[in-house]
């Protein structure tokens, strides 16, 4: 059904926050960010790099995760797999201006043919940033455009699954911001079936999967240099004492393990495996937005620490925290039967594989989140052109996300061990 654009906040999405807030910064978060290092890898939930549009904004320090990373010299040269251009639609341009942050508009195999946001001013700005003249007032209208082959969905997190399913049913390949689904195991099953029945490509843009260290871990693991992983740990720390503006206030009181993919990638993104069961502990938070009755989730936890059993029989500790000031970031470490990776490889394998990340297409910047943005876009577009599953395909996306949903359920049950649904690819 087409959204009611007279009252955009009653709509199904297309932007990640309500328009009443004029700045994504509050005084406390601004003062806190003054001390951030340029190598920080964390990000506001649902946010990514975006071009600042006012002089005042450019004077402020970058939001965590928005810093451009100085890359290791890369002698690799990008090689096009096709001369064809994929016709792409971009949906959503909210607080973090996600729609233009991943460089679709600069990729040599992409033509951005249309964009959409519920709010006309944002839609116009998104069109300008994406060098596109065609706009739609809602995702419902955009997905009806038969000229569009693929979409990138950067709407509010609670709408990702619904919007992805909608696009798949209209015959589009789908890339979406994280998480794949939001707090609903039923939505996870519905999205899985929608991707499987559509025959289209689906990719979740999990930035940790193209961090320099995680890419190296994956290459070494696939080459046998780690063996089975005995232990792995991932962390996503981001202090948020005040809630950020968000569409229908979805960020207020957000259960940490509803946003687990940045940390969980330090096992699932390395091995392609999954978590099979979890015991998770949370501690009641002193932050106002996590007090009883102060959020839509009835959530009292600002930090949730999950202990997972892995599909290899190992153990993972995955932490997400909003309410602990201090050191921040996304990072992970792994220990295997044949070697470990704590910032570098130490182990039995003497002939390591190529650990350098893929080259970027000409004109496409690496972007934020440790230089992952451009590589995620290139992986999605190349997967379409090569007719293959992308790296963070539907199975990996759901194994990254659903484990967090069940972890939060465990925390609510005082750490009760719970089984986690499993997702696998077909035709592989």
Whether residue 8 has pLDDT greater than 60: no
Burial of 262 (0-12, 13-18, 19+ CB in 10 A): buried
Whether residue 297 has pLDDT greater than 50: yes
Per-residue pLDDT reduced to its tens digit, 194-225 = 999 999 999 999 999 999 999 999 999 999 99
Average pLDDT over residues 324-346: 97
Can you tell me the distance from the alpha carbon of 345 to that of 73, in angstroms, rounded to the nearest whole number?
19
pLDDT of residue 19: 40
pLDDT of residue 55: 31
Which residue, among 316, 321, 319, 218, has the nearest Cα to 275 in the 3D structure?
A: 316
Q: Look up the CATH number of domain 208-343+394-419.
A: 3.30.360.10
Can you tell me the distance from the alpha carbon of 356 to that of 50, in angstroms, rounded to the nearest whole number?
26
Structure tokens at 279: 């015991």
pLDDT of residue 98: 86
Please name the fold of domain 86-204: Rossmann fold (3.40.50)
pLDDT of residue 44: 47
Whether residue 324 has pLDDT greater than 80: yes
Q: With cut-offs at 50, 70 and 90, classify the pLDDT of residue 66.
A: low
Q: Range with the lowest mean pLDDT among 24-38, 275-289, 325-339, 405-419? A: 24-38
Structure tokens at 299: 């959530």
How does DSSP assign 213-270, residue by residue?
HHHHHHHHHHTTSS-SEEEEEEEEE---SSPPP-GGGTTTT--GGGS-HHHHHHHHHH
Dihedral of alpha carbons 379, 79, 71, 126, sign: negative
pLDDT of residue 22: 33
Whether residue 15 has pLDDT greater than 70: no
The helix or strand, by DSSP H or E, that contains position 174, with its residue range, turns out to be: strand 173-176
Whether residue 414 has pLDDT greater than 50: yes
Average pLDDT over residues 3-28: 36
Higher pLDDT, residue 300 or 18: 300
Domain residue ranges of the chain, discontinuous segments joined by +: 86-204, 208-343+394-419
pTM listed for this prediction:
0.87
Decide the pairing of beta strands 275-284 and 418-419.
Answer: antiparallel
Q: With cut-offs at 50, 70 and 90, classify the pLDDT of residue 95.
A: confident
Per-residue pLDDT reduced to its tens digit, 134-173 = 999 999 999 999 999 999 999 999 999 999 999 999 999 9
Percent of the chain residues topping a pLDDT of 70: 83
Whether residue 33 has pLDDT greater than 50: no
Whether residue 309 has pLDDT greater than 60: yes
Q: With cut-offs at 50, 70 and 90, classify the pLDDT of residue 399.
A: very high
Angle ∠(72,74,79) on CA atoms, nearest 5: 150
pLDDT of residue 39: 32
């Amino acid at each position: 059904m087409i959204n009611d654009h007279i009252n955009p906040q009653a709509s199904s999405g297309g932007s990640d926050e309500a328009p009443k807030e004029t700045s994504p910064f509050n005084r406390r978060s601004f003062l806190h960010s003054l001390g951030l290092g340029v190598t920080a890898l964390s990000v506001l939930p649902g946010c990514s790099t975006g071009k600042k549009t006012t002089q005042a904004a450019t004077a402020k320090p970058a939001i965590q995760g928005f810093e451009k990373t100085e890359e290791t010299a890369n002698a690799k040269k990008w090689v096009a797999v096709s001369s064809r251009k994929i016709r792409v639609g971009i949906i959503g341009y909210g607080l973090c201006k996600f729609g233009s942050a991943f460089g679709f508009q600069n990729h040599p195999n992409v033509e951005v043919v249309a964009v959409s946001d519920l709010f006309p001013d944002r839609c116009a700005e998104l069109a300008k940033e994406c060098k596109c003249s065609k706009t739609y007032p809602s995702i419902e209208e955009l997905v009806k455009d038969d000229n569009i082959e693929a979409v990138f969905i950067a709407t509010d997190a609670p709408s990702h699954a619904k919007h992805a399913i909608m696009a798949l049913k209209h015959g589009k390949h789908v890339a979406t911001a994280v998480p794949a689904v939001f707090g609903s195991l039923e939505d996870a099953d519905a999205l899985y079936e929608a991707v499987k029945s559509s025959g289209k490509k689906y990719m979740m843009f999990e930035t940790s999967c193209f961090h320099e260290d995680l890419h190296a871990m994956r290459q070494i693991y696939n080459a046998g240099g780690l063996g089975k992983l005995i232990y792995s740990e991932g962390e996503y720390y981001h202090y948020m004492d005040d809630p950020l503006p968000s569409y229908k206030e979805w960020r207020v009181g957000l259960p940490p393990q509803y946003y687990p993919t940045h940390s969980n990638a330090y096992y699932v993104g390395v091995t392609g495996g999954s978590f099979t069961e979890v015991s998770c502990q949370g501690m009641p938070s002193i932050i106002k937005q996590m007090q009883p009755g102060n959020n839509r989730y009835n959530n009292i936890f600002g930090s949730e620490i999950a202990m997972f059993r892995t599909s290899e029989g190992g153990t993972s500790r995955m932490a997400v925290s909003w309410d602990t000031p201090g050191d921040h970031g996304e990072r992970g470490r792994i220990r295997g039967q044949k070697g470990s990776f704590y910032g570098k490889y130490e182990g039995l394998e003497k002939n390591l594989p190529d650990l350098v990340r893929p080259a970027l297409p000409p004109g496409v910047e690496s972007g934020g989140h440790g230089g992952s943005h451009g590589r995620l876009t290139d992986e999605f577009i190349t997967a379409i052109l090569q007719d293959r599953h992308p790296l963070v395909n539907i199975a990996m996306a759901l194994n990254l996300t659903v484990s967090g949903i069940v972890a939060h359920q465990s925390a609510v049950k005082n750490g009760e061990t719970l089984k986690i649904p499993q997702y696998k690819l077909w035709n592989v």
